[in-house]
Chains A and B, each alone.
Chain A
Amino acid sequence: MSTWQIRFLSLWRREISRFMKIKKQTLGGPLLETFLYISVFGAALGSRIKELHGIEYIVFVIPGLIMMAFATNAFSNNSSSILQQKFLGAIHDQLSSPASPRELLLAFSLGGFVRGLIVATLTFIVAIVLTNLTVDHVLVLLPSIFLVGFFFANLGVLIGVRAEQFDDVAFAQTFILQPLIFLGGVFYSAALLPEPFETLTKFNPVYYMISLVRYGFVGFTEVNIPLALAALTAATAALFLLNLRLFQRGYKLRS
């Protein structure tokens, strides 16, 4: 193993070790939350809304819940981890090491990505057991869900780097991320909304992410899949490059 590989794996393992040490909060809590969503929307609403576009309501909702679990966990892990380390000064240990900006960024990004992946995978397993969820288009699902995870992991890095207090992270999560996800069609189909809400939904980038993941699972979509996948790839690459530029400049990391 080369020196840079050892450096990168150590940085990455440290990120994973952080959330694994507080599993109840970082894995248990989000799993319970997702289980409650499945219960409420499956058992309660599902008994009244039998189907959407010919798909059992709970099965229609679950892809969005899986995506939401991946996105919010990847985001909150990275934003909290970076801010916490900046706050304690512990990040100086990594920043004064020979690790390059790219190694640092990838390690931080993939820490949250792994946490999101674990929660999303466990949610998927529960859903497979409890509902009639299927995977119709695995070749769309896998790149879509991984890109979504990596996008939000990098968004978490961006917010963590920019943040100066915990309030900044909470603000981004509560007032930007959650509204975008909830209004992006996790629990409903945009086609069923009255105007102008149907059109407004189409300006929400999360709508396209949910549509991609839903198409991967149940084969239903309201968007152009190749175009949405290309746009998601471009947005993820652009965000990664923006973060890389910030790490290279030491923006709010090095004085």
Chain B
Amino acid sequence: MPAPALEIVDLQKRYPNGVEALRGVSIGIQPGDFFGLLGPNGAGKSTLIHCTTGLAQPTGGEIRVFGHDAISDYGEARAAVGLAPQEVNLDQFLTCEETLEFHGGYFGMRKRDRKERAAELLETFSLTAKARERTRALSGGMKRRLILARALMHRPRLLILDEPTAGVDIELRLELWHYVQKINAEGVTILLTTHYLEEADQLCGRIAFIADGQIAAQGTSEDLAARYDVVNLEDAYLALVGRRELSRSHVDGGVTA
């Protein structure tokens, strides 16, 4: 049986200021899964991602990426992960092409492979015409595309998308959906965090709710709806955050009654 793409066991993270961002989180994502992680702001989603990618240091628990310990065997673990972070963190001194090529280099890709892969991704994300332009000259949507291209540059087996469609227009959002569905079908495992519940509902096979640094529930959308005794994922989420009164079916019912 292959190792899970991501196996997190009893993960804990306490920041030096005493804030407990993660309090014993455990999740398992199988190779090929499209897994959603949903929760309100400050629930611990980004901290979990940062711990997985080496940007934060866990204070307890274990993280394994395709069987490689994210701390003791970080080289292998990180090589398998591509991260598209929530914030636009492009290096403003670099061109689009350099952004991808340097990233490939950080992951040990050889020069010819870097050139070919960068050209392929720039084409895929409609950035070829901007290849030699510095990243600061790009529009917001183009920056988002470049961030996704960068995450894919080294051909990761696990792609982590931290709110990739926050603030992007409908066209780009649909474009990104199509692309990530395509690469998921090709075998790339995906971990997605998002605030758009319809996005999670349509894309993710399995979803976990995280709140206050703990996994509150996980399963398919239907499992989660059943778990909270509601009709859909959105209502399950509202139940999680204690705002059932905002349910659209509830509001509609109230208006028509």
The interface of chain A, by Cβ under 8 A from chain B, is: 1, 3-4, 6-7, 9-11, 13-14, 17-18, 21-22, 85, 88-90, 92-100, 250, 254-255
Q: A7-B105, A98-B76 are in contact. Are A255 and B56 (CB under 8 A)?
A: yes
Q: Which residues on the A side are within 8 Å of B106 (C-beta)?
A: 7, 10-11, 93-94, 97-99
A255 neighbours in B (Cβ, 8 Å): 15, 50, 55-57
Interface residues of B (CB under 8 A from A): 15, 50, 53-57, 74-76, 78-79, 81, 83, 85, 87, 89-94, 98, 102-110, 150
The complex places the Cα of A93 from the Cα of B56 at a distance, in Å, of 13
- Among the interface residues A9, A92, A250, which one has the most CB atoms of the partner chain B within 10 A? A92
Q: How far is the CB of B22 from chain A (nearest CB, A)?
A: 12
Contacts of B74 in A (CB 8 A): 98
Within 8 Å by CB of B93, from A7, A13, A17, A99, lies A17
Q: Give the interface SS of chain A, mostly helix, strand, loop or mixed.
A: helix
Q: Of B54, B94, B104, which is within 8 A of A254 by CB?
A: B54
Which among B50, B74, B103, B106 has the greatest number of chain A C-beta atoms within 10 A?
Answer: B106
Report yes or no: B75 in contact with A95, Cβ–Cβ below 8 A.
no
Q: How many A-B residue pairs have CB under 8 A?
A: 86
A-B pairs with lowest CB-CB distance, top 5: A10-B105, A89-B89, A3-B108, A97-B106, A98-B75
> Which of A17, A89, A255 has the most chain B CB atoms closer than 10 A to its own CB?
A255
> Do A92 and B105 touch across chains, with their CB atoms under 8 A apart?
no
In the complex, what residues of A have CB within 8 A of residue B90's CB?
A: 88, 90
Q: With a CB–CB cut-off of 8 A, which chain A residues contact B54?
A: 95-96, 254
- The residue of chain B having its C-beta at the shortest distance from the C-beta of A94 within the complex is B106
